[in-house]
Amino acid sequence: MPVRGIDHVAITCADIEATLDFYKRVLGAETHYEAEWREGKIPVVILQVGESRMSIHDAASPAKPHADHPTPGSEDICFRFDGPITEAQALLAKEGVEVIEGPVPRPAADGALGQSVYFRDPDQNLLEFLTTDG
């Protein structure tokens, strides 16, 4: 099968600056093409989160083509976390991010059983840290 996985996820946000700040602080994301986006040369800014990328779309002017109903807060994204679940909880606490559920047992994409904690970004998207490191 020539499809090997997801290349990136696009999310719609109400406030790009708040979104960039949150993902940089809490998930250690790095931006790509931020200067080009700020100069209006491209319609999105890209966040690199580990091996994954996120395309950040402004709700007021989402890049085309886009979802039928691009809406801030409609996403549910799971990030693999390397380390024990207690480290994920400590990171969220340090950044003042409320855990809304967890830790709870969850299966990972590779079939391993892990632990997850759930929290929200500035647009109220549901985010998850999933670890299989205990």
Residues annotated as part of the active site: 128
Within the chain, residue ranges assigned H as helices are 16-27, 34-38, 85-94
Residues 119, 127: Cα–Cα separation, whole Å: 5
Rg from Cα positions in the chain:
15
Residues 89, 130: Cα–Cα separation, whole Å: 11
CB 19 within 8 A of CB 122: yes
